[in-house]
Amino acid sequence: MFRNCEKTKFLYEKYTSLLTHGQDVLLLVIRLYWGWSFFRTGLGKFQNFDKVVGFFTSLGIPLPEVNVVMAAGTEMIGGLLLLAGLGSRVVTVPLIFTMCVAYATAHTTELSMIFSEPDKFTGAPPFLFLYASVLVLLFGPGKYALDSMWGRCCKGKCSRTDSNA
């Protein structure tokens, strides 16, 4: 009986180890896809600056030119940083804020249906951008990110410094 228990424990540990590796791969895929998508969306705003300023003006957003530059810059720079996995948990905060502003200004109907018709809320363009950003904020960038590599390097330096003291 105990023999089966040890075998089951071993198989379970292998299974969870594989799934943990899958977490890092999933976080990499999320960062690559949505980082690039954020970058392209921000670039599109800059490429169609006058049109986007007109859209922001129609929504009643104050200082539309400044807000287009802020939104597009946040999406472009934040997207590139997310793509690289650099400052991931920090950069997701302004990205989340930008998506919340998008809901509050351009997608108010979908936002108002968050509980009555959740499919409309989750079908709105900002949703998956927001969701991906929240995942990286809460779970980190995964081990295939510059953040993680930097952390491993710093940890190695710290332990070498401690052993010399």
Q: What is the pTM of this model?
A: 0.85
Identify the CA nearest to 85 among candidates 156, 157, 152, 20. 152
Look up residue 142 and give its DSSP letter: -
Helix, strand or coil, per DSSP, at residue 144 = coil
- Residue 46, pLDDT above cutoff 90: yes
- Residue 164, pLDDT above cutoff 50: no
Identify the CA nearest to 125 among candidates 75, 51, 84. 75
User: What secondary structure does DSSP assign to 94-125, as a single string?
Assistant: HHHHHHHHHHHHT-HHHHHTTTT-HHHHHHST
Query: Could you tell me the two tokens for 128?
Result: 């998956």
User: Residue 158: which pLDDT band, with cuts at 50, 70 and 90?
Assistant: low
Tell me what the mean pLDDT of segment 127-146 comes to.
Answer: 96
Backbone angles phi, psi at 41, to 5 degrees: -65, -45
Q: pLDDT tens for residues 78-128?
A: 999 999 999 999 999 999 999 999 999 999 999 999 999 999 999 999 999
- Residue 143, pLDDT above cutoff 60: yes
Q: pLDDT tens for residues 12-22?
A: 999 998 888 89
